[in-house]
Structure 1
Amino acid sequence: MNLALWLVAGLLAVIALTGGAIKAFVPKEKLAATPGGAWTRSVSAGGVKTLGVLEILAAAGFTLPAAAGIAPDLVPVTALCWIALMAGAMITHGRRREFRFAALNLAYLALALFVAWGRFGPGAFTG
């Protein structure tokens, strides 16, 4: 169970870091031209960058607290925050009728739900 939780948290960290870096460092106009990026047209450039920074922080939160042994309880808290972020992404893509992206966000949400459940429950870090 512990290995599965580490693998899923690591996968989510890679996903969050990739998506976050793109949102934080790629110009909004270029993002708007990519598949699934049209939503950026209705959000300010600062809003897009803020989401990018939040995703980068999530990438750190999925792995670093447990790896460093400092406040490992932040891992499931990060997973709960990721669930909220993915719910918002699903709503955004759903309203735009971009259902394949909403489905992808649902998959990410489900993975984070597994991490939150596991790390708050049977796979909790013990001190």
Structure 2
Amino acid sequence: MMIAYWVIAALLAVVYLYSGGMKLLRSKEQLRPAMTWVEHTPLFLVRVIGFFEVLGALGLLLPPLTGIAPWLVMAAAIGLVAVQLGAIPLHLRRHEVNVIALNLVLLVLASVEIWLGTIWL
């Protein structure tokens, strides 16, 4: 279970650090080609989503590595599930079918990570 945890945590961390970092650091104009939904979303909200994505990624990695507050692993995974539960309806409303598959994969991986995160408790 430990290997499965780290493989999934690494995958999720790469995706969310990249995606969240882009949302935190880039302008709307820079984000628009890859994320068309930002056009109709306040920049503040885009930044908040990015912050929670980066926070979730760090929450999957740092507590097991440091041994500090291992319960944060479960909180981070639950938070990433919540991010996807918000993203899926958004993309469905916008008829962005090509993105929904990725959202579903990320949702499943974060859900599995909730269960695998119990090894740290």
Alignment-mate amino acid for residue 47 of structure 1: L
Superposed structure 1 runs of 4+ greater than 4 Å apart: none
1:11-70 Cα distance to aligned partner (Å, 9 max, x none): 111111000111111111221122xx1110111111111111111111110110111000
- 2:16 corresponds to which residue? 16
2:73 is matched with: 75
Gaps of 5+ in 2: none
Where does residue 66 of structure 1 map in the other structure? 64
TM-score, normalization by structure 2: 0.94
Question: In the alignment, residue 47 of structure 2 is paired with which amino acid?
Answer: K
Q: TM-score, normalised by structure 1?
A: 0.90
* Percent identity over paired residues: 37
Deviation, structure 1 residue 102: 1.1
Which residue of 2 is the match for residue 98 of structure 1?
96
Query: RMSD of the TM alignment (CA)?
Result: 1.1
Report the AA paired with residue 113 of structure 2.
Answer: V
> Which residues of structure 1 form unaligned runs of 5+?
none
Q: Does structure 2 retain, via aligned residues, the 8 Å contact 1:61–1:74?
A: yes
